[in-house]
Amino acid sequence: MNLWLRLLWVCLTIWFRPRLAAPLGVSVVPMIVLPNDLDINLHMNNGRYLTVMDLGRFDLFARGGLLKAIRGAGWTPILSAAKIRFRRELRLWRRFRIESRVVFWEHTTFVMEQRIVIRGPDGEDVLAAVSLNRGGVHDPRERRFVPVAELFAMMNIDARSPPASDEVRAFLDAEAALKRAG
């Protein structure tokens, strides 16, 4: 996380924004492309998309109550895989928003979808990038990933995962194949 001022801004705005319904609430964080986001092509660097998505996940976890619950237990959220598709470039001073949501979970794994959305010329929402992220909650003392059921019980959440879309299943299958390959 190298966006300290933006992180501070997100932290401050969390206090004034409504709590999200965990686990299926959608976080929306407005942003603007700054000069330090640009690459030599004068548009947002491809690596910066994933970096600003950290802020969207932080907002999702904080406003959904996950951060408070896991920090109290001494646990840590861990991102273990990400896949991103770019659709539109983002130029300097372009306003965009990061939409983050959990789309699936099983055992010790969560899958989040994050979207970078801009306003099109006719005022319609246009997708600039979309990412799937796989992660979980790690307990460093016991050296394990915390089962989702245990986490939800601690947070008093009774929810079933939405079914995995074909894209989510392919993403998880590709990660499992990489793990098997070593």
| 34-64 residue pLDDT tens | 999 999 999 999 999 999 999 999 999 999 9
Rounded to two decimals, the pTM is 0.92
The yes-or-no verdict on residue 98 having pLDDT over 90 is yes
**What number is the average pLDDT over the span 59-75?**
93
Indicate left, alpha or beta for 135 from its phi (over 0: left) and psi (-120 to 50: alpha).
Answer: beta
Copy the structure tokens of residue 16.
């004034």
The yes-or-no verdict on residue 4 having pLDDT over 90 is no
8 Å CB contact between 10 and 37: no
8 Å CB contact between 102 and 77: no
The predicted-structure confidence for 124-166, as pLDDT tens digits, reads as follows 999 999 999 999 999 999 999 999 999 999 999 999 999 999 9
Task: Give pLDDT, residue 51.
Answer: 94
Residue linked to tokens 């409504």: 18
The yes-or-no verdict on residue 1 having pLDDT over 80 is no
Q: Which domains does the chain have, with CATH numbers?
A: 21-181 (3.10.129.10)
Torsion of CA 18, 104, 143, 154, to 10 degrees: 50
Q: pLDDT band at 2, cuts 50/70/90?
A: low
**What number is the average pLDDT over the span 102-112?**
98
The yes-or-no verdict on residue 169 having pLDDT over 70 is yes
